[in-house]
Amino acid sequence: MSAPQHLLLIDDDPILGEQLTHLLSQREYRVTHCLDANSGFQRALEGDIHLLLLDVRLPGMSGLELLSALRKNTTLPVLMLSACGAEEARIRGLQHGADDYLAKPFHPLELVLRIEALLRRTGLQSANLTHCLQVDSLSFDPARVELKVSGTPVELTPLQFRLLWLLAHHRGQTLSKTYLYHRLFQRDYSPYDRSLDMHVSRIRRKLSGAGFDALRLQTQHGKGYCLQ
């Protein structure tokens, strides 16, 4: 029997932390709860965490600042939790490297389903990333969830890595948003959901910063995305 997957919750609300620990323990997850950013940051880097649940508002260092610091050290999948559900807040979370974003208050089942979906994506199961891939100067290593441009590592979140791998694997083909949402998010595409757009924008900036022509990652308006 496999060991339970280990979730790290960083939230300064002890009551919510107790509730979520109880909820997720019933789903056979192991949960560690940290009440502040500093202890949470150190715990996240210890290597045995499968997924991070991160509150935006933390004392001292904000959740977004913590996420930016983490992304310099780890590709750990991150689900952000916030009392602010405005689109601008969700966009900021995704821009800082979050893989998903859930506004408080949320239904417990929705949290569980999002965690399950994110862990499936992180396990590379839904995208079927089974082999290394080389497309011009782009080198993909699914086992390490690592992208290199001309031999130089480029920091991508696990979701961004899978998205770019899919586009590279189908180079020259336009992949629809409907297809990508099902493969990456396990949910239907909604024109009001800009999660995918934000991840593509972030990937373009990272590729450009590494010297890759980001214009090759094309938006086919009304259709989807294509890597030329």
Q: Same domain for 108 and 192? A: no
Decide: helix, strand or coil at residue 226: strand
The whole-number average pLDDT for the span 32-52 is 88
Q: Same domain for 53 and 112? A: yes
The pTM of the whole model exceeds 0.75:
no
Q: Same domain for 10 and 118? A: yes
The position carrying tokens 């509150």 is 55
pLDDT for position 182: 76
Q: Same domain for 54 and 139? A: no
DSSP 145-203: TEEEETTEEE---HHHHHHHHHHHHTTTSPEEHHHHIIIIISS---TT--HHHHHHHHH
Ranking 6-15, 48-57, 82-91 by mean pLDDT, the lowest is 82-91
Which domain does 109 fall in, by range?
A: 6-122
Q: Same domain for 88 and 148? A: no
Q: Residue 19's domain is classified under what CATH number?
A: 3.40.50.2300
Q: Same domain for 116 and 137? A: no
pLDDT digits (tens, 9 = 90+) for 96-145: 888 899 988 899 999 999 999 888 776 544 445 556 788 999 999 887 78
Q: Same domain for 65 and 143? A: no
Of the candidates 56, 27, 53, 32, the one whose C-alpha atom is nearest the C-alpha of residue 43 is: 32
